[in-house]
Amino acid sequence: MEKLALMMGLIRMLSGTIEIIAAMLILHFKTVETAFKINAILALIGPTVLIIVTSLGLVGLADQLPLSRFIMIFLGVFLIFFGLKGI
């Protein structure tokens, strides 16, 4: 269980580091076109990190939660992505 929490934290730290590096690149290049491209790449990384970290959390909670809760969590994540699709 502690290993999963450590992995979740490390993945989030990696994601945050990528975000900071992207911000520094945007400031370095100082063009809207480049900033837009970098932001588009970040838009792919964010949901991927969300899915991975949520999956790790669910694996860690597998023996503690009933099936109905897993279904609600899955639907919640699905609705987040469905809601973002309209943007």
Q: What is the pLDDT of residue 86?
A: 59
**What pLDDT sits at residue 65?**
85
Q: Give the pLDDT confidence score for residue 82 in this predicted structure.
A: 83
d(CA 50, CA 76): 12
26 contacts: CB under 8 Å, gap ≥ 6: 34, 35, 38, 39
Task: Please tell me the predicted confidence (pLDDT) of residue 61.
Answer: 87
pLDDT > 90 fraction of the chain, expressed in percent and rounded: 52
Low-confidence spans in the chain with pLDDT less than 50: none
Q: What is the pLDDT of residue 87?
A: 52
Give 34-81 as a 3 state SS string.
HHHHHHHHHHHHHHHHHHHHHHHHHHHHCCCCCHHHHHHHHHHHHHHH
